Amino acid sequence: MLITYSRPQDLDPKQLDPAAPAADLDPAGYECEAETVDVGGTPWSCTRRRAHTDDEHRAVFGQLGDGPAEAVAIAWAYEHGGAGYGPPSPEAVHTITVTVTFPESASTGVAADRIAADVLSSFWECDHDHVRVAVTSSTRTP
């Protein structure tokens, strides 16, 4: 995740920041709801209108924090992916299927959790919410 805007700490809570991006709120109250956590550990969810057409998510102070209710507190974008929750719909989605068959005596401790973690290590950390890893294990006796 790349933070593209963070409200300056030295502003008075009621003061608007002229450098802040527009809140882009939906008049009906619908929200994108993409989520992130800032460097201080505060969770935020995108309050912009659903289906915004660029990659930037924005959260206003109305949901959390000390500042003007409809002023943007933080804005962020993902290194990969599009507006909303990941790649835009025209982008291809890839599926990789791997089947490993082995006799039990050959195993040195196959752990589904470790396999899933190894797969996730191949992707940007901020994109883990967009990657689905399913590891199943079964045993059959011949």
Q: For residue 140, give every residue at least 6 positions away whose Cβ sits within 8 Å of its Cβ, in sequence order, or none.
A: none
pLDDT given at position 84? 45
Q: Which amino acid is at 103?
A: P
pLDDT given at position 58? 93
Q: For residue 63, give every residue at least 6 positions away whose Cβ sits within 8 Å of its Cβ, in sequence order, or none.
A: 44, 45, 47
pLDDT given at position 34? 87
pTM score, whole prediction: 0.56
pLDDT given at position 87? 44
Which residue, 25, 40, 119, 32, is CA-closest to 77? 32
What are the 10-residue block averages of pLDDT along the chain, 142 residues in total?
A: 85 87 91 84 88 88 73 82 47 70 77 80 73 76 72
Cβ pair 61, 5 in contact under 8 A:
no
